[in-house]
């Protein structure tokens, strides 16, 4: 088994749906990141590329992205769909490729344009044609469980977990404030500036609210009506963006004399109830840590994708002593969630968090629609 390292990790700015990137296709966003990675790492050849995407047009858009980025036609490319966990799954697959000897350099991550999410239509002979809410086969959101056709199934799953765990609106809003405060501090200090690839001259994440307050959060309406807890402040926005990393074998690094950022120690993919997808983040991280013989207390940085503040509360309740090193740069409640790219964003942020902590071990984990989860464990290279 080859040891696998992260040579570089970059992302675009994270921009809100129908915002500044509203007419830029996801493969174009991804291609800009790939070109920047090739320049930064001085790469003239790669063994392959794996790209996550959740709501694009299909048809292996990672291949389109690779060609737009100027990669050689002989470089294989594959698109991965694990919904929110797509980029993390792509990185995990690239890790496995290198670890098993199937190449020395792979590009992996994801891209998304919520702005350009296409309206699709089931075939008339498909029984779902008449079952979707529109009644005429048209849908935006794919089906994630055999018995569930609801377009807001992820939101309802988060609300279901909040109800089962007795999570209050106040607990959720505390984490929304944490997220914006930490993200605003990271932006003010320029912590992430060197991992952001400008797109058309723009390099600023536009979802961060430095002046977010409890008063503002309290004014937001409940998304699912009376008796529920989630608001637009405690559920992430939908966004446009891309994030990719260069993964390399130890042999390649030694031959080329290149110094990596971090070593990937292990990955995990775990499934669970589609009706309670937010539980996937901690469940998957727990499995990976157990496999490695690590504890949360052993880590210097922890990054969970906070698609919903419910995920944060679950973590805080189980690991209160680890809150300071959890999403220390802020999370998706502030930055936003460009579905298929978010795992790559977490990787870049985890490495930055470890650098700020002075080194050590870290983990990222992300829940995906359908009850899926993907986690990656790292050690920073000293």
**The pLDDT of residue 301 is above 90:** yes
Q: Determine the pLDDT at residue 134.
A: 83
pLDDT one-digit tens code per residue, 39-96? 999 999 999 999 999 999 999 999 999 999 999 999 999 999 999 999 999 999 999 9
pLDDT one-digit tens code per residue, 253-287? 999 999 999 999 999 999 999 999 999 999 999 99
Rounded average pLDDT over 131-152: 90
Q: Determine the pLDDT at residue 382.
A: 83
Percent of the chain whose predicted confidence (pLDDT) is above 90? 97
Of 222, 374, 231, 211, the residue nearest 309 (C-alpha)? 231
- Supply the pTM of this predicted model: 0.97
Residues 6+ apart with CB under 8 A from 189: none
Rounded average pLDDT over 32-38: 98
Q: How far, in Å, are 129, 192, 210, 348, 381 from residue 337 at the CA level? A: 29, 17, 18, 14, 28
Could you tell me the two tokens for 188? Answer: 């003010």
pLDDT one-digit tens code per residue, 176-219? 999 999 999 999 999 999 999 999 999 999 999 999 999 999 99
Q: Determine the pLDDT at residue 5.
A: 98
Residues 6+ apart with CB under 8 A from 70: 35, 38
d(CA 110, CA 124): 32
Q: Determine the pLDDT at residue 221.
A: 97
Q: Determine the pLDDT at residue 135.
A: 85
């Amino acid at each position: 088994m080859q040891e696998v390292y992260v040579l570089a990790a970059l992302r675009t700015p994270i921009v809100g749906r129908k915002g500044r990137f509203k007419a830029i296709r996801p493969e174009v966003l991804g291609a800009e990141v790939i070109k920047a990675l090739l320049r930064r790492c001085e790469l003239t050849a790669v063994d392959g590329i794996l790209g996550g995407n959740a709501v694009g047009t299909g048809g292996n858009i990672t291949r389109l992205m690779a060609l737009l980025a100027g990669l050689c036609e002989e470089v294989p490319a594959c698109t991965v769909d694990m919904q929110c966990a797509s980029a993390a799954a792509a990185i995990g697959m690239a890790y496995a490729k290198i670890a098993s000897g199937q190449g020395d350099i792979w590009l992996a991550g994801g891209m998304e344009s919520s702005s350009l999410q296409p309206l699709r239509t089931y075939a008339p002979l498909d029984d779902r044609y008449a079952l979707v809410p529109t009644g005429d086969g048209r849908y935006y959101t794919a089906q994630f469980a055999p018995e569930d056709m609801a377009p807001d199934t992820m939101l309802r799953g988060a609300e279901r977990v909040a109800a089962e765990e007795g999570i209050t609106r106040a607990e959720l809003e505390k984490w929304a404030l944490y997220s914006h405060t930490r993200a605003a501090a990271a932006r003010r200090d320029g912590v992430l500036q060197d991992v952001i690839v400008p797109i058309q001259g723009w390099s600023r994440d536009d979802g961060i609210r430095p002046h977010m307050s409890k008063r503002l959060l309290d004014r937001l309406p409940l998304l699912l009506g009376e008796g529920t807890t989630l608001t637009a402040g405690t559920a992430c926005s939908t966004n446009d963006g891309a994030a990719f990393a260069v993964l390399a074998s130890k042999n390649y690094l030694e031959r080329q004399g290149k110094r990596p950022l971090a070593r990937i120690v292990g990955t995990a993919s775990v499934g669970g109830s589609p009706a309670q997808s937010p539980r996937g983040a901690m469940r998957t991280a727990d499995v990976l840590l157990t496999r490695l013989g690590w504890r949360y207390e052993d880590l210097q940085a922890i990054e969970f994708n906070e698609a919903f503040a419910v995920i944060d509360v679950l973590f805080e309740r189980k690991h209160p002593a680890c809150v300071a090193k959890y999403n220390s740069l802020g999370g998706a409640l502030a930055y936003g969630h460009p579905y298929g790219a978010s795992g790559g964003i977490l990787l870049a942020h985890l490495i930055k968090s470890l650098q700020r902590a002075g080194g050590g071990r870290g983990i990222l984990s992300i829940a995906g629609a359908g009850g899926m989860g993907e986690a990656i464990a790292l050690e920073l290279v000293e």
